[in-house]
Amino acid sequence: MLTQNHRVNDGSSAFSRPLAIYLLLLLVAIGWLGATMLAPYLVHSKQLSAATFIYRAFSLICHQLSERSLFLFGYPLSVCSRCAGIYAGFLAGLIVYPFIRSLDCASMPHRRYLLLALLPISIDFAGGLLGVFENTTLSRAVTGLLLGATSSFYLLPGLLYAAMEKLAGSPIYIRRNK
């Protein structure tokens, strides 16, 4: 049985498994955010087939309203400003993660921080929906950025330890930090 004190990196290899998983996730996050920015570039360079493919693929998970989007090369990103903020924040969180916490550390922040990060985006969304106030592109992007950055501190250890648990073949119990 592995416990929260179990270090998933046994130090036998310079290129540890947590590092490999981290780098893979980092590449996926860069590719994902890059794809949202590639679509406007493709329209700008008149490669419409490729642009349409990306815009349609992202239309499955975002409303893509241009009045609620950030623009690049004069055209909207393939996701709205809130989604772009979440993805950019997630990537930023991943980049700073190793400077704040060790990849070997089997702990997760307390859930209160995740709930706290959900609060601004919920207020911004609900306020706009109920007509209490008019949210802006900036407010949507910033609140999304906050949630994305915070969620990386849950999803990265989550994915790391889910993968390591499967590789180890026994449960790893994670104690949340206060």
- Residue numbers of the site for another protein (CB under 8 A)? 1, 3-4, 43, 46, 48-49, 52, 55-57, 59-64, 66, 75-76, 82-83, 86, 108, 111, 114-115, 125, 151, 154-155, 157-159, 161-162, 165-166, 171-175
Closest to 167 in 3D by CA, of 5, 6, 29: 6
Dist CA 82 CA 173 (whole Å) = 33
With 0-12 / 13-18 / 19 or more C-beta atoms within 10 angstroms meaning exposed / middle / buried, residue 17 is middle
Contact 25, 45 (CB under 8 A): no
Q: Which is nearer to another protein, 14 or 46 (CB)?
A: 46
Rounded least distance, CB 132 to another protein, Å: 18
Q: What is the length of the chain?
A: 178
CA 37 to chain CA mean position, Å: 15
Q: Which is nearer to another protein, 95 or 114 (CB)?
A: 114
Q: Which is nearer to another protein, 20 or 115 (CB)?
A: 115
Rounded least distance, CB 53 to another protein, Å: 9
Instruction: Say what angle helices 17-44 and 137-168 make with each other, to 10 degrees.
Output: 140
Rounded least distance, CB 69 to another protein, Å: 9
Rounded least distance, CB 14 to another protein, Å: 26
